[in-house]
Structure 1
Amino acid sequence: MSEKKKLGGIISGDKLILIGAIVVVYIVFTLLNSNFLRWTNFVNILVASHLVGLVAIGHTYLIIAGQNDLSPGSVAAFSGVLAALLVSWGLNFWLALIVTIVAGIVVGLFNSWMVNSIKLEAFIATLVTQSVIRGFAYIICDGKPIAISDSTFLWIGKIRFLDIPLFVWITILCYVAFGFILAKTKFGRSVYAIGGNKDAARLAGLNPKRIVLICYVVMGIFCALGGTLFAARINSGQPSGNLNLEFDAITAVILGGVSFSGGVGGMTGTVLGVFLIQAFNSGLTMVNIPTFWQYVARGGLLLFALTSDFIRRRNRERSLLEASKKNA
């Protein structure tokens, strides 16, 4: 067996393309600004990707299950404000974190109720949540940022291990744990099953509604955790923060090989997609691309991700059709 085949057995073609894209991004932006290749910038990319990364884990589960969520930016902002507000009232940080995570779980339950019980499309249901929760984020703080002075809260945002912040290590741990759950457990296989064919999964004895509920609750937990860690990082709860967070996460997940039609993808691709997007964003900033043009570039990246998903889906359908003809 050749080395190329051995490598292909370990890393799929899609992931090799992502790795190649990351290398190209590094080469291009290093030529434009030599500081891009520095260790400090690498750490900055990891720091910038921690919140998108946590939300992308939730989106990986949801999109594979045939669902979606447009509310993470609002939920993360609300969570950061809520946690900051609770500690400003004298509540212990860890209790404030638990209350905030419970609030995230409630949001996840609400989203799953709209999707499962009143049969709203996921985009519409979570668009409702996006608006409502953003409104609550402004209401509970009277529209003003909440400064954080709690020592534990500030410590969480500043502590480092091997020169990498704690919240980045938390994100990496979540990648590993939830990647394992998705790839190696019965629940993970169930997520793929309902995303591939919900009716067939139901006939096989699975409960699609329960699996969808769990996926939305997981997303709520990640948004609450990520929003709290983000508040610790910037030392305040910002009701206007995390705009368009969900679109960066969705772009990363689709770039990573998760299909919008459901049933296909994995956590490794998501990790690569998140890093590619943040490296790209960092590069645009370091070469002084105007902010408005950065929005255009990110939109183009999302279009590229969706186009890639379409091509992958068409190729899968063509392969299945050819296989069925051979077996006929």
Structure 2
Amino acid sequence: MENTKKENVLKRFASAVGGNNLVLIGAIIVVFILFTAINPNYLTWTNFVNLLVAASLVGIVAVGHTYLIIAGQNDLSPGSLCAFCGVAVALFLQWGLPIPVAIFLTLCCGVLCGLFNAWMVNCIKLEAFIATLVTQTMVRGFAQLICDGRPVAISNQSFIKIGTARFLSIPVSVWITIIAFIVFGFILARTRFGRSIYAIGGSAEAARLAGLNPRRIVTISFIIIGVLTALGGVVFAARMNAGQPSANVNLEFDAITAVILGGVSFAGGVGSMFGTVLGVLLIQAFGTGLIMVNVPSFWQSVAKGALLLAALTFDYIRKERREKELIAASKRNA
């Protein structure tokens, strides 16, 4: 009787957390055990905080990617936009603008980039992959142009505190990412707008016939990732004490890998913010572990590519399983 109760509790827990999320939690535990066995310094509070700081930028971009990919879209421009916004806020501060004004104008740059991406997708019907590849190239070029390709130093100590200040021994940048996960996770799971994102990701035409406006929802989703990426650029610049036009290369690929690992379907319509949190932790724990065991940087790139391949493979398997379940369900109802 007691065993039956335990089994029921475990089943309810597994159902609440989700099978994919349980696998991710197990993978994170395995990664921690493996790298701690190789380097005992891996499992220390200092390294854990450093891991969270490193994950904060990928995490805040992954929040936006969760919305976009569930909606059936994508964005390859965050790395370039993050670098551009870091340079922009540094220049605004050099020109003597107050910190709130500098940050606000930088976030506006993120809004404009999101609107431009949405315009290409909605109005001239480019695939999101191609449209945002255009933006990626252009924005990186603008980042180099506005500072002649050189880093822009930041001397404003009040602004630098954004990147160095701590609350409860955890850096502000990590708290910003946690707040973004909570707020946008709630919107995705509990609001009409969140349900609309799932609807257009499942079928944009069916969503339109149901009275939704896919173009508006896609536009808002691109604006969200633009603003979040701009915010990430501000925090990164504060942490580095400079705007760096060549920084954050491949940031978008780390974010996409984390999102797909977290169970968001590349085909759209499926996923959760909690899965994205786990995906971010897994990819950052893995990357930090490779650094701490002195794996050469070239092999780190190979490992990250393999991780992305694994994420896409798991996504394909999940998609095939869902299709088989739908076919089976339709046969039972026929």
TM (normalized to structure 1)?
Answer: 0.99
* Structure 2 residue 186 is matched with structure 1 residue 165: no
In the other structure, the counterpart of 2:293 is 287
- C-alpha distance in 2, partners of 1:114/1:60? 20
How far off its partner does 1:216 sit? 0.2
How far off its partner does 1:153 sit? 1.1
- C-alpha distance in 1, partners of 2:163/2:252? 22
The amino acid that maps onto 1:260 is F
CA displacement, residues 36-88 of structure 1 (integer Å, 9 cap, x when unaligned): 00011110110001110010000000000000000000000000000001101
In the other structure, the counterpart of 2:276 is 270
The amino acid that maps onto 1:266 is S
The amino acid that maps onto 2:134 is V
In the other structure, the counterpart of 2:144 is 138
In the other structure, the counterpart of 1:15 is 21
In the other structure, the counterpart of 1:207 is 213
CA displacement, residues 211-259 of structure 1 (integer Å, 9 cap, x when unaligned): 0000000010011000010010111100000000000000000000000
* Structure 2 residue 76 is matched with structure 1 residue 70: yes
TM (normalized to structure 2)?
Answer: 0.98
- C-alpha distance in 2, partners of 1:184/1:248? 27
In the other structure, the counterpart of 2:318 is 312
* Pick aligned residue for 2:31 from 25, 34, 55: 25
How far off its partner does 1:96 sit? 0.4
In the other structure, the counterpart of 2:107 is 101
- C-alpha distance in 2, partners of 1:133/1:187? 29
In the other structure, the counterpart of 1:81 is 87
- C-alpha distance in 2, partners of 1:310/1:72? 25
The amino acid that maps onto 1:181 is I
How far off its partner does 1:205 sit? 0.1
In the other structure, the counterpart of 1:48 is 54
In the other structure, the counterpart of 1:111 is 117
- C-alpha distance in 2, partners of 1:156/1:202? 42
The amino acid that maps onto 2:250 is N
- C-alpha distance in 2, partners of 1:155/1:261? 41
Give the total of aligned pairs.
328
**Unpaired runs of at least 5, structure 1:** none
- C-alpha distance in 1, partners of 2:159/2:9? 49
The 5-angstrom pairing of residues 181-260 of structure 1 reads 181-260=187-266
* Pick aligned residue for 2:309 from 285, 303, 316: 303
The amino acid that maps onto 1:60 is T
- C-alpha distance in 2, partners of 1:131/1:171? 26
- C-alpha distance in 2, partners of 1:42/1:167? 14
- C-alpha distance in 2, partners of 1:24/1:12? 18
How far off its partner does 1:152 sit? 1.6
How far off its partner does 1:312 sit? 0.2
* Pick aligned residue for 2:128 from 122, 138, 149: 122
- C-alpha distance in 1, partners of 2:141/2:76? 15
The amino acid that maps onto 1:291 is S
CA displacement, residues 133-161 of structure 1 (integer Å, 9 cap, x when unaligned): 00000000011001110122111111101
- C-alpha distance in 1, partners of 2:210/2:16? 31
- C-alpha distance in 2, partners of 1:319/1:308? 16
How far off its partner does 1:167 sit? 1.1
The amino acid that maps onto 2:104 is I
- C-alpha distance in 2, partners of 1:282/1:40? 13
The amino acid that maps onto 2:181 is Y
Secondary structure in 1 matching 2:119:
helix
In the other structure, the counterpart of 1:60 is 66
How far off its partner does 1:3 sit? 2.3
- C-alpha distance in 1, partners of 2:213/2:12? 38
**Unpaired runs of at least 5, structure 2:** none
In the other structure, the counterpart of 1:154 is 160
- Identity between Structure 1 and Structure 2 (%): 64
- C-alpha distance in 2, partners of 1:156/1:304? 36
- What's the C-alpha RMSD, in Å, of the aligned pairs? 0.6
- C-alpha distance in 1, partners of 2:14/2:81? 39
